A and B are shown apart, each in its own frame.
Chain A
Amino acid sequence: MKAKVGVYVCECGPNISEKVDIDKILETLPGLEEYREIELVVKRFGLLCSGDGKTFLEDEINNNGLTHLVLGACSPRDHDKTFIGVCKKTSLNPFLYKIINIREHCAWIISDKDKATEKAITYIRAGINRVLFQSALLEKKLDINPDVLIIGGGIAGMEAALSLAARDRTVYLVEKDDHLGGKAVLLGGLLPRQGGGPAKIREKIESVLGNDMIKVYLESELEGVIGFLGNFEVIVGSPGDEEKKDLKVGAIIVATGSGLADPAILEGLDYSKTDEVITSMDAERMFSKEGKISLKSGGDPKSVALIHCVGREEKGYCSRICCNYMIKIAGYLKDQSADMKVTEFHRGLCLPDKADQGFQKEAEGRGVEFKRVRELTITGTNVRYEGMDGKSEGLKFDMVILAPALEPSEGTEGMADLLGVPLSESGYYQEIHQTTNPVATSIEGVFVVGAAHSPKGITDSMLFAQASAGKILSQLIPGGKITPEIKVSEILEAYCTGCGNCLDVCVYGAIYYDEGRGISVVNEAVCRGCGNCFGSCPSGALRTKHFTNTQLYEEMREAIR
């Protein structure tokens, strides 16, 4: 059958029509019929993405019996999905359609109308030739699994679990320790008023344990994962237990929290050498257990130095929560004894939330001294510092409390590797976009919340947990279907030499090496069709569907003909 290709050029209002001579395109293109066994239908339209435009295209496809469709219009980022939607309403397979970007690539960047028109013609010609070599791929529909796996039973993990657990959705909460509550349950008090906090955390734990739709696995860890949004298969195991649990879930939330940098590695800080130099977490634990902060040698301290920003420079980021909780700890000390000399050494305070400034003023009112410093060294419990005026001074204290930087919790690298989620320079998980899509990762269906995402207090951890729950609730509707990526890569065994180039460049962990056959193999369920592997293969063994060598070659060949 002779191919019948419909070519429609969108005016995009004045955007394309004023900068490109559309009529000239319409006159020139039929020349292609001379050397290609094709029949062309070539027309222009005002605005193809409008309601009228979509109806027009639908009618054109049906009435002309088009076998292929090429649109000269805008960027596929704008309206590829719109026109795929149009094709789906007709009998035309959407993979036999191609949008050519003559707006951003021609109209908007070339001031000479003749040149812009010439380039638009070249691009459309190339597109027509490409579409002829495209294959009608068939989409698959898969049932989705609405259940969710949450790794980490801290405050963020618990909140996500409580937001998601429902009659038709089971949540599996995996915690590596023997208790829920993470770091928050260890604290002496919560901001801003300190009282009643720990009880609130314990209430959350009770709610989680009392919820039939939340299955809690303590002392357990994620050991394996394959699959994609809506259809993950995961293995959960416990150290020392041979028996593994195979779970099927639709999404995974990583809520593995944060660790504290070891201040012992920092120069000038005597953390490991002197008993009376402790970390903020030590202080919280002491306060939580004994209701007060005492010297290791016994008795109450008369003077305490609180050191902010321990390791901030080394880590290269602000840990966000320390300024606040150090003021809280100053509060514990002042409650203990109003006469105690409490000095906070900071490098500029970070107090971003609405109640924070007042909280700090209140502490100042109670006699807590705030000293902004440039440089600072600690010997024993002696603090030597250079103030903002450039003068150096030394002060002696009974006790020093350090606020070490937050850092990715232990095992983050291994977990990232297992999930195929990249890490950012700071060592924390890399989100899709820091400002506009902070909870999602490059692996669809894997979300990162709480302090596992970046240094965070309890409020922000709650917000992130709730945000990820929102995303999952809208994506994994019980009884719904999901369309997996079909533009995936495949490896032709006859050509593959198993060199492993593709394994190194695959960012999704979708390729594995088959020892027995000595070749690399694509796991189609995980592949997102990015094409990195295709570019790295010297043997021509790799093929990415819808971006085959032939298709790209034919497109380019026509462009330079």
Chain B
Amino acid sequence: MNDFAALGAKIKAADGPGEAIKAFLRQAVEKKVADAVLVPVKVPAGNSYAWILVTDMSILDDASPVAPVMPVQGAKALKSLTRKGHGELTVMAVMRPCEIRATFELLKLNQVNLEKVVLVSYDCPGAIPFRDYVKDPGFGEKNFQAVMAAGGPAEKNVKPACVICDEFSRVDSDIHFGWFGESGSSVLVIPSSDRGVEVLGSMGMECSDDIAGWKKTISGLKEKKTGKRTATLTETAKTIQGLDGLLGTFSECIGCHNCMAVCPICYCRQCYFDSEVAKKTPDFILETAKKRGGLAFPSDRVMFHTGRMTHMSLSCVSCGMCTDACPVDIHVAEVFSYMADITQPAFEYTAGRNDGVPLPLRKYEEKEVPQVHEIVKEAEGEEAAHE
């Protein structure tokens, strides 16, 4: 957890953290520290939420900063907003911790520009699986109300990625809204960066409330969730070992590439697997078919997923968009999270931080070679044990 500040500002939140954040946003625009806000707003049809760059504050009435679902990963929204740089507007963006972490990965990849963006995060209880929600939005809203009422990171009725999420609280955002463990009528506004301090200062918010109690609550909850994540991913590991494991895991894949389309980190203009280079020559196809006695089409289904893992696992923030978008319920997010938990420590890298540490692929360190050998050896040992 970001340890930036020891003090925050306790503010009233009689109608819950969502309304408190909205009030804060209105105040930020009034005090001219922001010109616009980027928040999820309920679509007119009432069955989903969309990211809206709000300049007319009356639209904020329909906004839900803490939305029940995440149809589009916030980092992706911010990317489409700032890919070509920043303008004159200062934007305050309210996003889930996983969305902010993905944003920092994209920042390192030159895909977003945060020059004029103030990032606001909050204690996130999780999000409802999108397909469950659209089937019956009324039921979905009720479910989410129950999730919010529990006042902590949810253990059921949310996306599988949220069930095992241990990064549900303060990340390297500018301002964080902490409310887990706080009494129902207040939330803590916590500066989390120099910019955050400056913004709160300009808004005249005095940070004099101790946040030690909240921090203790969060670290307790976090410990529990990390345990849950480890236990779940250990189970996942068993199902994906070896080629047979992978084939089994992805046997239902229909090749829609939704997982790629919704992944905030998948930033290529065109995926290699959709490109001409990946198309096979007829002699190769025949030869392979002859050798194996048969060949599935379109081919390279597992290759697509392992290829994406190679490219993305170092930056994976376990937001669970892939699983949420999979029409055949493959637990893609768990597989990627499992890989991320191996590859990121291997390069002493943690995805989602604004710490100036370059992506591992951008630097070469000789010591990494023997380290990778060790990891491969270990993995082979594990694989043998499973067989």
Contacts and interface: CB of A to CB of B under 8 A. Distances in A.
Interface of A: 35-36, 494-501, 504-505, 513, 518, 536, 538-541, 549-550, 557, 561
A129 to B, nearest CB: 11
Nearest to B283: A35
A495 B268 contact: yes
Chain B contact surface mostly: loop
A189 to B, nearest CB: 46
A425 to B, nearest CB: 13
Given A500-B110, A540-B277, A495 B269 contact: yes
A499 B275 CA distance: 19
A513 B110 CA distance: 11
B358 A504 contact: yes
B363 interface: yes
B277 A549 contact: yes
A500 B109 contact: yes
List the 9 closest A-B pairs by CB distance, nearest first. Answer: A539-B268, A504-B362, A499-B109, A500-B110, A540-B272, A538-B311, A499-B110, A497-B269, A549-B277
B84 interface: yes
A239 B267 CA distance: 43
A509 B229 CA distance: 43
B244 to A, nearest CB: 20
Contacts of B109: 497, 499-501
Contact of A501 (B84, B272, B284, B359): B359
Nearest to B85: A515
A36 B269 CA distance: 35
9 contacts: A497-B111, A500-B110, A505-B364, A513-B110, A536-B362, A538-B311, A540-B277, A541-B269, A561-B287
B183 interface: no
Interface in B15-59: none
A505 B268 contact: no
A539 B362 contact: no
A518 B277 contact: no
B287 A35 contact: yes
Given A499-B109, A499-B110, 4 more contacts: A494-B270, A497-B109, A497-B269, A505-B362
A35 B110 CA distance: 46
A422 to B, nearest CB: 13
A540 B275 contact: yes
Contacts of A494: 269-270
B131 interface: no
Contacts of A513: 110
B287 A539 contact: no
B182 to A, nearest CB: 40
Given A494-B269, A499-B109, A538-B311, A504 B363 contact: yes
Contacts of A501: 109, 359, 361-362
B174 to A, nearest CB: 24
A496 B267 CA distance: 10
B229 to A, nearest CB: 26
A549 B358 CA distance: 26
Interface string B201-225: 0000000000000000000000000
B173 to A, nearest CB: 23
A498 B106 CA distance: 11
A539 B283 CA distance: 26
A23 B359 CA distance: 51
A557 B280 CA distance: 11
**Contact-residue bracket for chain B:** 20 to 34
A48 B2 CA distance: 66
B195 interface: no
B284 A557 contact: yes
A497 B362 contact: no
B23 to A, nearest CB: 37
Contacts of B362: 501, 504-505, 536
Contact of B270 (A495, A498, A504, A561): A495
B357 to A, nearest CB: 13
B267 A518 contact: no
Nearest to B291: A561
A536 B361 contact: yes
Interface string B356-381: 00110111100000000000000000
Contacts of A496: 269
A13 to B, nearest CB: 36
A549 B83 CA distance: 28
Interface string B298-312: 000000000000010
Contacts of B275: 495, 540
B84 A518 contact: yes
A62 B157 CA distance: 76
B284 A539 contact: no
A551 to B, nearest CB: 11
The interface centre, meaning the residue of A498, A540, A557 with most chain B CB atoms within 10 A of its CB, is A540
A504 B277 CA distance: 25
Contacts of B267: 497, 499, 538
Interface in B78-112: 83-84, 109-111
A505 B362 CA distance: 6
A495 B364 CA distance: 25
A518 B83 contact: yes
Given A518-B83, A540-B275, A549-B277, A497 B361 contact: no
Contacts of B287: 35, 561
A500 B111 CA distance: 10
A538 B83 CA distance: 18
A154 B297 CA distance: 70
Contacts of B84: 518
B18 to A, nearest CB: 34
A498 B277 contact: no
Contacts of A540: 268, 270, 272, 275, 277
Given A498-B110, A499-B110, A500-B110, A539 B363 contact: no
A550 B363 contact: no
Contacts of B269: 494-497, 539, 541
A96 to B, nearest CB: 19
A67 B306 CA distance: 38
Nearest to A550: B277
Contacts of B284: 557
B375 to A, nearest CB: 20
Nearest to A518: B84
Contacts of B358: 504
A550 B280 CA distance: 10
B370 to A, nearest CB: 20
The interface centre, meaning the residue of B109, B268, B272 with most chain A CB atoms within 10 A of its CB, is B268
Nearest to A515: B85
A538 B363 CA distance: 15
B306 to A, nearest CB: 14
The interface centre, meaning the residue of B83, B110, B267, B275 with most chain A CB atoms within 10 A of its CB, is B110
A318 B178 CA distance: 56
A125 B235 CA distance: 44
A303 B283 CA distance: 90
A87 B236 CA distance: 56
A177 to B, nearest CB: 37
Contacts of B83: 518
Interface in B136-184: none
A497 B79 CA distance: 12
The interface centre, meaning the residue of A35, A496, A501, A549 with most chain B CB atoms within 10 A of its CB, is A501
Contacts of A504: 358, 362-363
A498 B361 CA distance: 15
Interface string B332-358: 000000000000000000000000001
A505 B111 CA distance: 18
Contacts of B311: 538
